[in-house]
Structure 1
Amino acid sequence: MAHSLQFGSRRPAQLKVFWLFGLTSSGRSDENENGFQFQGGLFFSFLRRNRTMFTKLIIGFLSCCFLAGPPTAVGQSQTAKSPGSVCFSPRHSSASGCEEMQAQFAQSPTRTGSLRGTVALEPSGIPARNAVITIAELKKSVLTDERGGFQFNDVPFGRYQLIAHLDRVPDAVKTVEVTQRDQTIELQLTLAPVSEQVTVTATGSAEAVGSSYQSVTSVAALELAQRNPTSIGEALEYQLGIAKRSFGPASGRPVIRGFDGDRVLVLQNGLRLGGIASQSADEVEPIDVLSLDRLEIVKGPATLLYGSNAIGGVVNGISTNDVYQKGLSGYLTAFGDTNNWQAGGSAGFKYGVGNVLIFGNGGAQKAHDYRTPLGIVLNSYSRSADAGGGLGWFPRRGWVSFNYTYDRRIYGIPVEPDAIDFEYLKMHRHSYEVKGGLRELGGFIEGGDFAVSYNDYVNREFEFESDENVTELDSLATNKNWNYRANLNHQRRGRFSGTFGISGFTRDYKSIGAEAPAPRTKQNSFAVYGLERVDFEKVGFQFGGRVEQNGYNPEGNFRKRNFVGFSGSAGVRIPLWTGGSFVTNYQHSFRAPALEELYNNGPHPGMLMFDIGNPNLNAEQGDGIDFSLRHNSERLRLESSVYYYNIRNFVFTAFTGVTDPGSHLPIVDYAQGRSRYVGTEASIEARIVPALWLNGKVDYVRADLTQPNKPLPRIPPFRATLGAEWRYTALSIRPELILARQQSRVFDNESPTQGYAVLNLNASYTIVKTRAAHILTIGGYNLTDRLYRNHLSFIKEIAPEMGRNLRLSYTLRF
């Protein structure tokens, strides 16, 4: 069954589109080994067997739209019907059928106005040139001119969010309303340090965090540069609802609301990094935090857009190389620490000329063993270097770019003071990425984007025997990974707007050596999904669904596995007062067991256990609900959330009580039960006087196995943070007190952790010129030199957290 779509233009094109959604009555029902039944199985089996073809179909569809211009329906001339008319139904493939369908979307003539304004940089008020101004609801963007001015024409009457973005500077958001025909609105947006956050991770399109149906946090480049973290876990450990899992300072990885490992997905620009840190705590996530424009965190299940590995949340590093700007711009950051004598820097640039954008970045850092109040932690050093660059082409209605990145890291695993054997890891990664998109097509499909990446990841683990001066290779792991995704955004029709698309990846994982627990395994995943939003005057709704397939093909005498599952969500957002809203979101999530949970069978030093996988595990099925109360105004920002997650077939490590005689590691089996996560989060920012903001936040999660009845391991304790920001012209001073309670609810083979209080103080001075901004920051961390331990550290007994540290950093933005 096939139908054609013809796009009216000087270069007409045709596409064959299988009408798969209509086959539920005639298609055979498929049932996988876990009992998941998919009515209309011909639809999914076609997609699963033809991933490459379907990907080419989507890309071809985008290409045809780009070449053809605005589409028109089959059998209609451009003069007979408005541009953008397109019929998707096989039952209405005639011209009259298309007219009948489109009549359902008919609207009265739209009244429009114009919108213009200026953008300035605080504290000097200098115009911000080349800032990107976006109307979020319309997905339209313009660049500011030399005077910081911008203008939109033909804006339909309504209420909109304007987002101002400038590289390496926190975004600004302002709500405006166009209410009169041809009305010109003068708008002043100020890029201030305390500003509303922006996210693209929650829905795939830019929106204010406060408007998201999920709980989202965004950390800007300026804040990342002030912290100068050695890992992504260190960059986020004090954000609301986020903690740091570690096996030393170099391998920190975020834990979201108590979820860890394969249940938290770390991405860059929406694509997988190709690393194996989710499998082992001593591995690193290969991402250069200082090269990012911002880090976004979606807390709670995010499986709808990103797959089953996001059942606990998503961390997405955002870079803006897909945004064109004229001329030269860039950044430079340099920093140094006193505790571990860390030193390093990062730099990047963009140069736009004509329709072409050239970009590049690179950085390096070196840190020695760090000190605690008990002394030096041996073998805690780290080295890292990275470089990347690419080229982008930006014609009128689309864009395409290519990017290459190389990462290299060497770091040690901390040991006890009297140790004579030292382990260290060497990692490198090559990453290639092609991205593209379309915009303002004028039809039912108003735009879309695609991305394809390939990652070649290699990690070697060595052991140095100091008494014999011998170095041996313990293990070698490689992970070759292809990722792809394609999204289409349909035009707002009445109250409806949304996105649908495909995504997937393939993976070839191999590990050899004495400490190689898993066989060589090839994994593939493919999914289709859709997300729709319905906006009314007093309430908004968002709903969506995803069908995903995951397959494992291991070498040797291991069972092959295939999992098919459904994830869905439904959310409601209700305005309560000016700036205030109530949001609730329900999510059903699916997670296929991870490779190590299925096939590991050997010593796993990175998890401090000898683990035995279970190839008969079932897929996890989760149900969760969030309730949030939010307020955002010029003087007060508030968000409080309560959440509950119940997961069936939850995979956990069951200790057998036996120790492996060769590795001296406890033997554990991967088993399944039921789990429950209940928690709360709250944050507040209040402006007391124009120069002073006070802020505070608290978070707590209680996570248990309900079958059997026991606490889950490495769950963060109750935490609270109290802080302030005082600004006087170009000077900013930010004291911060971090409090954590004792964590005594522990799993088998886990020890309690004492509570602590840590005092930090940061001060920065900003000089803004017409063409550049200079930021000098000095920070003091753990100023009282408190001895404390991170409950989520695998080696907290031999490696407490860092003692008193002073950090100096300089950032140039031009």
Structure 2
Amino acid sequence: MIKKPLVCAICSVFAMSAMAQTEDEPNVVLDVLVATLQDTQSNSGFVFKDSKKASDTTVSKAKLKHRSATLGNALSDELGVHSNPFGGGASAPVIRGQDGVRVKILQNGTDVIDVSSMSPDHVVAADTLLAERVELVRGAPTLLYSTASMAGVVNVVDGRIPSAMPAGGVLQKTDGEAMLRYNTNSDEKLVTAGINFGVGENIAVRVEGLSRRANEYEVPHFQADKVLDYLPGSDNKSTVATVGVSYVADKGFVGASYSRREDKYGIPGHIHCNSNQEHFIRWYGSGRYYIPIYPHLMTDEDINDNPHTHCQHNHDEPSINNPTGVPINHEHDSPWIDMKTDRYDVRGELNYPIKGLDKIKLSLTYADYYHDEKDPGNVQDPNNKKSAERDTTVDKGSASSIFTKKGINSRLEFYHTPTSRLRGVFGVQYQTQKSSAGEVLLPSHFESGAAYDKALHDNINQYRPYLLVPNTNKSLSFFGLEQAKFGNITLEAAARYEKQKTPIEYSDYLLQHALNHFKDPARPSLYVPQHPDLSPYKQNAFSYATTVLWDMTNKHRLSLSYSHNERIPSPMELYYQGRHLATSSFEHGNKNLTKEKSNNYEIGIAHTGNKFDYKASGYYSDFDNYIFNENIEKEGNLYLRRYNQTTAKIYGLEGELTYHLNPNHSFTLFGDMVRGKIGALKPVIGKNFYDKDPILDEDSIDGECLLRGGDLSKCVSFLNQPVAPPTVALDPSCSKEDIKDAPDICVLVYPAKLSTDMLERPATNAPRIPPSRLGFRWQGYLNDKWSANLEFSHIFSQKRVFTSTIAIKPELRTPAGCQRDDDECEIKDYVNPDNPLAMQPRLVVENKTAGYNLLNVGVDYDNMWKNVDYTLSLRANNLLNEKIYIHNSFLPYVPQMGRNVTLGLTVKF
């Protein structure tokens, strides 16, 4: 573990070394050093600038200023990248069919510490509109940052900590930029500004900020309780403020920054009734007294035989005609998220500290993240008369659930060039992240024994102490990347070892109180207590990769990449238990998940010419223990899900071809596709099937155990008999005379075992795989001031959908008017009367989505006024006003923005 004194010592060394001047060193050394370090530009995810593959991508600031303020939508125009949007407030990138924890998102080369990987409705706390560029890194360099991002690493690069003195603009040692933007559809008003200025010869300061306000956006069609032309809950507000200060010297810099971000945005498409009832955990009689307090400790044995959920409070069932299952209340706000995050960064670089080292780089980050989810439609305190009777039309909302995360991330990197052919980087990373999620409507913990007793009385089986039990995720990583050049062949090799531990703080008092209650004579039990395993989840992961680059000519490059990636399950996948308002689902973690492994292959080719440019990539990933969120039940658009794992294969193609008509006009054809398959799950093994007993009356109580199946141990005539062969035996109660006089009575014929009930769970398509798309783009420069562009793309329908096969175990139903233990009532109302004791399959099918066309056009005017560069821009998106439904979204029935026009002004000085 990295201690505070060590951190302080490292920072002191960087500060003193950066301040030290190098007058005694020859200028030629510094010149060579600068040339060497051009490939390792500060904050870049591309360690070696001259080794980009066809699939590596950099999105410039010029492009970002015309795109969405949310990361997923901002990157969705790039090859292989789609968005998982959530109204107007949040979106996350889906890269080659992968999202969440499989897509590492960085800010200036270090982790973005937020909860965006837990759910798509959680905003990514990195600002593309304040960024200098966004990098999509693939291949061997990804292991510098993660063991598990085979699809790619996203690095949002900004200048919050200056690494050099300002170049100078209108004022000496000062430069800056600002942008104003307005969108006609959502009435979005956005302003960003940033300025760098120098203080003296060595102090550089960066100040930047962002403010965004948008109303609910308009859509061609939204089917709620009635047809709407807007999306309720798609409004958003964002405010960002950042300040950074650096000391810059000849041999490097050391600096720090502070950033504050606040977001308030709606949760569209939610289903209110998902907060009412589910039947998933059945722990009564198991002896596992601790599950009501810590439900994440459940195992497969605790899952209800017939897991399901349903709406209450007179809501309609979600359906095609009403996907949310509830009337929209137009008198008050939709549920929304209030988010606040504070981030502190310290970064330093020391150039050429000793012989053999080009640079030492230090990064320290601390972030404190908080958001609560408010729902003004819910009465928060039913015991408070004033609260229960209040008018919801003026309800400002109060938190229904709270998510928190506090994290520290530290990296120390060493860059070296031992020979002219070999260079590389190696380092160490340590991070700790403490997170939790809890519902406010239910207690987040038992405050006393009386509270526990009350919870039992109020139906403990529905009690959820935490959505995500408080946990501290600690990881220590060692990583390295080396590059060797041999003529026109470049070899890269990388490796990363990660050791992770996730301790949870348990309350001995609560566990003891639950155990005492379990033993209470007033509540006698026939079951022996089973004590929990409270040891922390610990895993190691080791990933390695190699890339070969072949420059066939000075215009052609062929690349081959292979990686073996291992991923440790996240706390969300292990421990989450309960409702998830934003995705209209109940979700359950699985503490028995094991390490995910994959072998990944990629081939790419790129060509740059006078008339034609092209690049294409193909990839294939073969997974063991692929972790996915399995759909257990689907009721309309209300889901019950649990994390599971099996084998998987993800593969696809992406590419583009550009024709340069002349230096001012180019035409590009582009497209991508991805396919995903997950393997068969282990079959569910049920009861043994037997022939019926020829001696016992099958209509008797004794005979019921043999009705086309059953368990011999439950047959009273066989309680004292072996259940294994021989299948014919003598009744031990018969004498020799009885056997001689009545052989039919004394000879017992055991039922023969016919088969074992087994339900296969076949392979299927992977969940939420993006559809294929094909498009065309024109870019033209009309003169030195005017430019224009047009893009048309067709996104195909997605009919290759994920289908879960869920085993419903056999159950008997008690006829009306009978008690289950009433011997006079015959319990013959079987779920499946044709095969009453056989398990039944339940198919849960993912929604299909229709294809659509997307047409966007833009015009820019660039000019200068008194040494100030300015650009006026006009963008018209979705000009055809198409109905756009995103298949890879958790809410595929929620439409995206209709026709919209954006007017912008950007100035730079």
Shift of 1:723: 0.7
Q: Does 1:250 align with 2:89?
A: yes
CA distance in 1, matches of 2:54, 2:163: 25
Shift of 1:641: 0.5
Change in 2 beyond 3 A, CA 1:315/1:199:
farther
Q: Does 1:474 align with 2:387?
A: no
Q: Where does residue 547 of structure 2 map in the other structure? A: 571
Aligned-CA RMSD value: 2.9
Q: Does 1:740 align with 2:638?
A: no
Q: What's the secondary structure of 2:593's corresponding residue?
A: coil
Q: What's the secondary structure of 1:493's corresponding residue?
A: coil
Q: Where does residue 36 of structure 2 map in the other structure? A: 138
CA distance in 1, matches of 2:854, 2:611: 28
Change in 2 beyond 3 A, CA 1:52/1:311:
farther
Shift of 1:312: 3.2
Residue identity matched to 1:713: P
Q: Does 1:753 align with 2:665?
A: no
Between 587-596 and 307-316, the greater mean CA deviation after superposition:
307-316
Shift of 1:419: 1.6
Shift of 1:482: 0.6
Q: Is the 8 Å Cα contact of residues 542 and 565 (structure 2) preserved in structure 1?
A: yes
CA distance in 2, matches of 1:486, 1:647: 31
- Aligned mate of 1:674, from 632, 642, 647: 647
Shift of 1:137: 6.1
Q: Does 1:489 align with 2:489?
A: no
Q: Is the 8 Å Cα contact of residues 84 and 91 (structure 2) preserved in structure 1?
A: yes
Change in 2 beyond 3 A, CA 1:614/1:303:
farther
Q: Is the 8 Å Cα contact of residues 301 and 313 (structure 1) preserved in structure 2?
A: no
Q: What's the secondary structure of 1:238's corresponding residue?
A: coil
Shift of 1:551: 1.1
Between 319-328 and 402-411, the greater mean CA deviation after superposition:
319-328
Q: Where does residue 783 of structure 1 map in the other structure? A: 879
Change in 2 beyond 3 A, CA 1:803/1:68:
closer
Residue identity matched to 1:666: Y
Identity, % of aligned pairs? 25
Q: Does 1:527 align with 2:451?
A: no
CA distance in 1, matches of 2:865, 2:484: 44
Q: Where does residue 42 of structure 1 map in the other structure? A: none
CA distance in 1, matches of 2:610, 2:194: 33
- Aligned mate of 1:266, from 98, 105, 127: 105
Q: Does 1:370 align with 2:217?
A: yes
Q: Is the 8 Å Cα contact of residues 140 and 481 (structure 2) preserved in structure 1?
A: no
Residue identity matched to 1:396: D
Change in 2 beyond 3 A, CA 1:582/1:641:
same
CA distance in 1, matches of 2:874, 2:66: 8
- Aligned mate of 1:322, from 156, 163, 169: 163
Change in 2 beyond 3 A, CA 1:398/1:202:
closer
CA distance in 1, matches of 2:537, 2:373: 29
> After superposition, where does 1:389-404 map in structure 2 within 5 Å?
389-404=243-258
Shift of 1:135: 9.1
Change in 2 beyond 3 A, CA 1:58/1:545:
farther
CA distance in 1, matches of 2:610, 2:358: 34
- Aligned mate of 2:587, from 611, 627, 649: 611
CA distance in 2, matches of 1:472, 1:113: 62
Shift of 1:658: 7.8
Q: Where does residue 595 of structure 1 map in the other structure? A: 571
CA distance in 2, matches of 1:50, 1:436: 17
CA distance in 1, matches of 2:29, 2:2: 46
Residue identity matched to 1:723: R
Q: Is the 8 Å Cα contact of residues 559 and 615 (structure 1) preserved in structure 2?
A: no
CA distance in 2, matches of 1:300, 1:347: 35
CA distance in 1, matches of 2:180, 2:33: 35
Change in 2 beyond 3 A, CA 1:770/1:622:
farther
- Greater Rg, structure 1 or structure 2? 2
CA distance in 1, matches of 2:469, 2:30: 62
Residue identity matched to 1:526: L
- Aligned mate of 1:384, from 213, 224, 238: 238
Number of equivalenced pairs = 648
Deviations 1:268-310 (A, max 9, x none): 1012222101101211111222111011112468651112353
Shift of 1:53: 8.0
Q: Where does residue 422 of structure 1 map in the other structure? A: 334
Q: What's the secondary structure of 1:422's corresponding residue?
A: coil
Q: Is the 8 Å Cα contact of residues 303 and 589 (structure 1) preserved in structure 2?
A: no
CA distance in 1, matches of 2:418, 2:21: 19
CA distance in 2, matches of 1:603, 1:300: 37
Change in 2 beyond 3 A, CA 1:135/1:767:
farther
Residue identity matched to 2:401: S
CA distance in 1, matches of 2:610, 2:201: 39
Q: What's the secondary structure of 1:445's corresponding residue?
A: coil
Q: Where does residue 659 of structure 2 map in the other structure? A: 686
Structure 1: 5+ residue runs without aligned partners?
1-48, 71-77, 85-111, 116-133, 141-160, 164-197
Shift of 1:601: 1.5
Q: Where does residue 859 of structure 2 map in the other structure? A: 763
> After superposition, where does 1:215-364 map in structure 2 within 5 Å?
215-227=55-67, 229-299=68-138, 303-320=142-159, 321-326=162-167, 327-352=173-198, 353-364=200-211
Deviations 1:451-507 (A, max 9, x none): 101101010100012963332321111100111111111124131111111112111
Indicate the structure whose relative CO is greater, using CA pairs within 8 Å and at least 6 residues apart: 2
Residue identity matched to 1:323: A
Shift of 1:686: 2.6
Q: Where does residue 449 of structure 1 map in the other structure? A: 361
Residue identity matched to 1:538: N
CA distance in 1, matches of 2:249, 2:30: 24
Deviations 1:161-207 (A, max 9, x none): 8x9xxxxxxxxxxxxxxxxxxxxxxxxxxxxxxxxxx99644435x1
CA distance in 1, matches of 2:580, 2:868: 50
Between 645-654 and 51-60, the greater mean CA deviation after superposition:
51-60
Q: What's the secondary structure of 1:234's corresponding residue?
A: helix
CA distance in 2, matches of 1:199, 1:237: 26
Residue identity matched to 2:633: G
CA distance in 2, matches of 1:343, 1:397: 43
Deviations 1:40-78 (A, max 9, x none): xxxxxxxxx5677876786677678668899xxxxxxx9
Change in 2 beyond 3 A, CA 1:386/1:202:
closer
Shift of 1:666: 3.1
CA distance in 1, matches of 2:597, 2:554: 38
Q: Does 1:715 align with 2:769?
A: yes
Change in 2 beyond 3 A, CA 1:223/1:768:
same
CA distance in 1, matches of 2:54, 2:353: 29
Q: Where does residue 152 of structure 1 map in the other structure? A: none
Q: What's the secondary structure of 2:116's corresponding residue?
A: coil
> After superposition, where does 1:22-171 map in structure 2 within 5 Å?
138-139=36-37
Q: Is the 8 Å Cα contact of residues 230 and 249 (structure 1) preserved in structure 2?
A: no
Change in 2 beyond 3 A, CA 1:566/1:113:
closer
Shift of 1:579: 1.5
The structure with the greater share of residues assigned to strand is: 1
CA distance in 2, matches of 1:65, 1:345: 39
Q: Does 1:464 align with 2:376?
A: yes
Shift of 1:413: 1.2
CA distance in 2, matches of 1:480, 1:574: 44
Q: Where does residue 130 of structure 1 map in the other structure? A: none
Q: Does 1:582 align with 2:558?
A: yes
Q: Where does residue 204 of structure 1 map in the other structure? A: 47
Shift of 1:713: 1.2
CA distance in 1, matches of 2:375, 2:588: 24
Shift of 1:811: 0.3
Q: Is the 8 Å Cα contact of residues 409 and 427 (structure 1) preserved in structure 2?
A: yes
Shift of 1:665: 4.7
Structure 2: 5+ residue runs without aligned partners?
168-172, 222-228, 270-323, 379-390, 443-465, 507-531, 682-762, 804-844
- Aligned mate of 1:696, from 629, 647, 669: 669
